[in-house]
Amino acid sequence: MSHLCKWKAIAFLLILSFPCTLLANGKVLTWNCSEFGSGCTNAIPEVGTSGSMVSSVVTVQSAADQCLPGSDLDAESVAIRFKATHTFRADLEVSVTHIPTAITAELFSDVGGSGDDFDVTIDDVNGASNIGDGNCASGSNCIGTFRSESGTALAVFNDMDATGDWRLDVLDDAGGDAGQLVEWGVSVYLKDSDGDGITNCYDLCPEISNYLDSDGDGTPDCSDQCSSDADKISAGACGCGESDIDADGDTIPNCFDDCPMDSGKVFPGVCGCGVSDADANLNGIADCMIQEEFKDLVARSLSKVKRLRAGGGNKALKNEVSALATELEEFVALSVASIVTIDASVDVQAMSTKTAKKMRKSTKTTSSKFKKLKRKAKRALLDLADGLA
């Protein structure tokens, strides 16, 4: 009879329910021929003759139907139920084959003397004695759980995936007696590789104990990709041991964001975190740099003016001063809105225009007024520099 089988997968504290034939102590699943097979009552063989019974097949359902989806039905061991009528037990040779692997085990051959019938479970792990000994060896009733005739025949199925079709073959090797198969089935003792009490079939992590929680975060190591990081159970974007937090909400986690508190920037750029790198006037200079660039331009201009000397030489230097005067005017024309003065009432553009004119006049090095012109240019530049914030 089918029952409703429930198992607690501790890794996710999740109750999973599956229809299964039998679940004893969470360890054994059984598939009986009457429910999951064909040829379950075949004759053994025709009356008064010898020969093989038509094979009977039991289908052990896939792990996806019985356990966690996609898992193998790992067998610690396998047991076979065999119930049949027969008027001379010792005529029979019985074997079972796992068809997907073509592995066969002979359960017994010519045991039981002249007694009638079998109602046995062949279990090499839990059987008290070999089937060739005790009651089954005499004319007594052959009923109970026994080991195979060899005592180890079923060991060939240990540790395998038991999913698939199983075939029962019965050979009557003598004439004069006959019988009939009544029932048979396959029982699978489910394996628990890590010894955590959860069989592999139901275990999300069959090789790691579900009870080990190294970081104490409530998620067992088997389901925790970051078993040493109590704040994470998966590596995420930043890896174990580092938070995936995105403090500024720009979709870039802090571990990859050089400006974790500036949602407009991931890298500092020329202006640094918290300050835009925008170039509003398209002069090739970020707005944040205008003030410093202007101060530098004034300083360079003052340096060049100071180097001017009276006389007919200095042509290259004079050209430089004139060029700087033009640059000063153009710079202010483009960037006046971004230039900050200590006194907000100062007209930077007008002041810069006057300064540029004085710079050009200071290049008249042959004039008798050269020293005065140079002094006025220097003063104008100094005043301009001192007025900048």
DSSP class of residue 321 equals: H
Residue 268 is predicted with a pLDDT of 92
- If you ran DSSP here, which 8-state letter would residue 136 be given? G
CA distances from 324 to 23, 80, 327, 338 (A): 93, 102, 5, 20
pLDDT at 43 over 80: yes
Residue 357 has pLDDT above 90, yes or no: yes
pLDDT tens digits, residue range 2-41?
322 333 333 333 323 333 343 333 588 999 999 999 999 9
* Exposed e or buried b per residue across 338-352, where buried means at least 16 C-beta atoms within 10 angstroms of its C-beta: bbebeeeeeebeebb
| Dihedral (Cα; 364, 367, 372, 375), 10-degree rounding | 30
pLDDT of residue 359: 93
- The length of the chain is 389
> Could you identify the residue written with the tokens 């275990």?
203
What pLDDT was estimated at residue 18?
A: 30
* Lowest-confidence pick of 26-40, 57-71, 157-171: 57-71
| pLDDT of amino acid 176 | 83
The reported pLDDT for the residue numbered 11 is 31
Residue 210, pLDDT score: 65
In this prediction, residue 200 has a pLDDT band, given cuts at 50, 70 and 90, of: confident
Question: How much of the chain, in percent, has pLDDT values that exceed 90?
Answer: 56
- The Cα–Cα gap between 198 and 23 comes to 13
Q: Would you give the DSSP letter of residue 388? A: B
Position 101 confidence tier, pLDDT thresholds 50, 70, 90: very high
Q: Kindly report the average pLDDT of the chain as a whole number.
A: 86
H-type helices in 209-250, by residue range? none
Cα separation, 218 vs 241, in Å, equals 17
86: nearest Cα among 29, 55, 42, 127: 42
Residue 47's pLDDT is what?
Answer: 63
Render pLDDT for 278-337 as a digit per residue (tens, 0 to 9): 887 777 888 888 888 899 999 999 999 999 998 877 889 999 999 999 999 998 988 888
Could you tell me where the DSSP H helices lie in 218-368?
290-306, 315-335, 348-361
The pLDDT value recorded for residue 150 is 94
pLDDT tens profile 201-257: 877 777 777 668 899 998 888 788 999 999 999 999 999 999 999 999 999 999 999
> Tell me, what's the pLDDT at 63?
57
Evaluate if residue 85 carries a pLDDT over 80.
yes
Instruction: Give residue 274's identity as a one-letter amino acid code.
Output: G
Q: What average pLDDT does this structure show over 350-357? A: 93
Mean pLDDT of 333-344: 88
Please write down the long-range contacts of 341-347, taking CB distance under 8 Å and 24 or more positions apart. 341/387, 341/388, 341/389, 342/387, 342/388, 342/389, 343/387, 346/387
Residue 94's pLDDT is 96
